[in-house]
Amino acid sequence: MNKRKWGFWANSILIGLLLVQCVTNGEKKLAQPLSIVKHPWWSIPATIYEVNIRQYTPEGTFNAFRTHLPRLKKLGVDILWLMPVQPIGRVGRKGRLGSYYAIRNYRAVNPEFGTAQDLKALIEEAHQLGMYVILDWVANHTALDHPWVREQPHFYQKDAGGHFRPPLEDWSDVYALDYTQKALRDSMAHTMAWWIREFNLDGFRCDVAEMVPLDFWDALRPFLESIKPVFMLAEGENALLHQRAFDMTYSWRMYKAFNGIARGIVAPRLIDTLLTREEALYPAGAMRMRFLTNHDENSWHGTIEKRLGEAHKPLAVLMFTLPGKPLLYSGQEIGLNKTLRFFNKDTIVWKASPLTAFYQTLMHAYHDYPALHKGAYRRFPSPGEICFFERHTSNQRIYVVVNLAENTAHLNIPASLRVKQQLEIFSKKVSVLPETITLAPREYRVWLEQP
């Protein structure tokens, strides 16, 4: 859900200042948390794709979306993240169709999307194609007309006057749940387990995870894993989320840095500062989700074209090649250039686009090359507007060069990199790198070192 109250670009402008504060306020001196989370084996090389069922097709149904599964498999998608699929509250509804995140019944399927059997068939076909499915879960709040409001009023937070209250002032279509109530915790955990058993889900993306007590998530994971291994994504950045509960968290700081770089108000060197910060604060093996857009950012802060402009493709290359795990949002692979309405029908118009081949190359590279999905990172010296680094494992090396400047740039290549043949993954050309290369504005190259 959209929870950022400040103007988006104000946040981007402030990011450098905020980062300085992070570095100087003692945060880096905190003990790095250890993690007992065991990632499902299939999640290590996996890419992730967010599915907006309502807007994906004119029908807005599970069955209509199913027809896209073979295309998404070809694109290189490994994990499908389905936005909430439960019935939406009628009382206090925003717009005609309401917010996906105002859930009226946790154990039902929104009839606008289809039936429970339709959803099961979608998940089964995804599994047959070698993909996995996680469901967006809203544990922090419910719709105003959820049965618990009448039947279990003690499950909810109250204001000083004893009235139900929203989590935030402008979330007028939901009431905040009260996690001091053990019965609520038990009900929520058992309901999530029911979805794993009933629909054979592979995990959850947990909405506003930091607004729910950490100890709930910590207890939840082993409970779910008593059924099957699960993949858990938190909408949050707190490193402690990785300690016992979550495989992956949002890298909001990197997202804002990307936007600031595109607008020329943040220097690219901030990327390395953020990576250094993550290495110091997060447990080894913690997955950080890299993204250029998602449902909130598209609907509330504008399209990729509007925010990133010509920097879109070079930043996408970084999203897939820096340490972390890449996310694509519905329509991103064809250059979706409209903000999808959040509370009303607003169908994606699917069309042929050269971006599809671009993203397909990156998706398959991330999945197929261990250096990208689990390799170490090393930065090479380069001019300020050029990112030049390698990702490597014991038997694979990938070199990445991205010119983020609006002007031509020249880069000296170290002698050690000019020995073996290199396959450039976009052009498919194989060559030994020269002593100096010239990069056009916003140009990028990714080389796979040949044996």
Instruction: Please report, for the domain that includes residue 439, its CATH number.
Output: 2.60.40.1180
Segments forming the whole domain that contains residue 407: 379-449
Mean pLDDT of 177-190: 99
Q: Which of 368, 397, 425 is the last residue of a domain?
A: 368
What is the structure's pLDDT at 30? Answer: 54
Q: Return mean pLDDT, the chain.
A: 94
For residue 2, is it within any domain? no
d(C-alpha 275, C-alpha 377), whole Å: 10
The runs of H, that is alpha helices, within 200-322 are 214-225, 241-244, 252-262, 269-281, 295-301, 304-308, 312-321
CATH of the domain at 234: 3.20.20.80
The region of weakest confidence among 8-17, 186-195, 304-313, 320-329 is 8-17
Per-residue pLDDT tens for 287-300? 999 999 999 999 99
For residue 41, is it within any domain? yes
What is the structure's pLDDT at 9? Answer: 42
Residue 153 and residue 230 share a domain: yes
Residue 430 and residue 326 share a domain: no
What is the structure's pLDDT at 44? Answer: 99
Residue 332 and residue 391 share a domain: no
Tell me the one-letter amino acid at 68.
H
Residue 20 and residue 158 share a domain: yes
User: Predicted confidence band at 33 (pLDDT cuts at 50, 70, 90)?
Assistant: confident
d(C-alpha 180, C-alpha 244), whole Å: 20
Residue 260 and residue 125 share a domain: yes
Per-residue pLDDT tens for 385-400? 999 999 999 999 999 9
Question: Which of 232, 193, 205, 201 is CA-nearest to residue 38?
Answer: 232
Q: Which of 368, 393, 421 is the last residue of a domain?
A: 368
Question: Which of 331, 296, 298, 329 is CA-nearest to residue 57?
Answer: 331
For residue 12, is it within any domain? yes
Residues 6+ apart with CB under 8 A from 157: 164, 165, 175, 176, 177, 178
For residue 430, is it within any domain? yes
Residues above pLDDT 70, as percent of the chain: 93
pLDDT at 25 over 60: no
Per-residue pLDDT tens for 212-221? 999 999 999 9
* 3-state SS class at 451: coil
Residues 6+ apart with CB under 8 A from 446: 317, 321, 365, 398, 399, 400, 401, 424, 425, 426
Token digits for 215?
């100890």
d(C-alpha 122, C-alpha 416), whole Å: 49
The region of weakest confidence among 11-15, 102-106, 368-372, 421-425 is 11-15
User: Predicted confidence band at 31 (pLDDT cuts at 50, 70, 90)?
Assistant: low
Tally of domains within the chain = 2
pLDDT at 249 over 50: yes
Residue 383 and residue 317 share a domain: no
Residue 399 and residue 316 share a domain: no
Residues 6+ apart with CB under 8 A from 61: 53, 112, 113, 114, 118
Residue 320 and residue 405 share a domain: no
Mean pLDDT of 31-58: 96
Residue 245 and residue 217 share a domain: yes
Residue 356 and residue 256 share a domain: yes
Residue 173 and residue 136 share a domain: yes
For residue 3, is it within any domain? no
Residue 279 and residue 216 share a domain: yes
Mean pLDDT of 127-154: 99
More confident position, 21 or 365:
365
The runs of H, that is alpha helices, within 322-419 are 354-368, 370-374
pLDDT at 62 over 70: yes
Q: Which of 320, 340, 368 is the last residue of a domain?
A: 368
For residue 445, is it within any domain? yes
User: Predicted confidence band at 32 (pLDDT cuts at 50, 70, 90)?
Assistant: confident
